[in-house]
Amino acid sequence: MWKHGESSVPVPSIDTESSQKYAYIYRNVEKRKREDVTYYTYEYAKIKKDVYEYVKELWATEVRTTEIEDVLAELLFGGDE
């Protein structure tokens, strides 16, 4: 359930601050230019914060915590659409 998005500012790999209910996971972030304007394209998914916190806690002891967004996507969505 990845969706496409664009932003004029860089996005973090995981955003838990902008919403009280959801955590947003971003991947495939690319910096682009259009007529002297820089923007960023990306794919994102949103999951409930309690689910994110639960999975994050389970993986906290793993060395691969930097890959948590891929693990969450696979567990929750079964990978790409």
Amino acid 37: pLDDT: 95
Q: What is the pLDDT of residue 61?
A: 59
Could you give the angle at the alpha carbon of 80 between the alpha carbons of 15 and 53, nearest 5°? 35
pLDDT tens digits along 55-78: 887 776 555 555 666 777 777 777
Q: Identify the band that residue 81 occupies on the pLDDT scale cut at 50, 70 and 90.
A: very low
Q: What is the pLDDT of residue 14?
A: 92
Average the pLDDT over 16-45 and give the result.
94
C-alpha distance from residue 70 to each of 4, 9, 54 (Å): 16, 22, 15
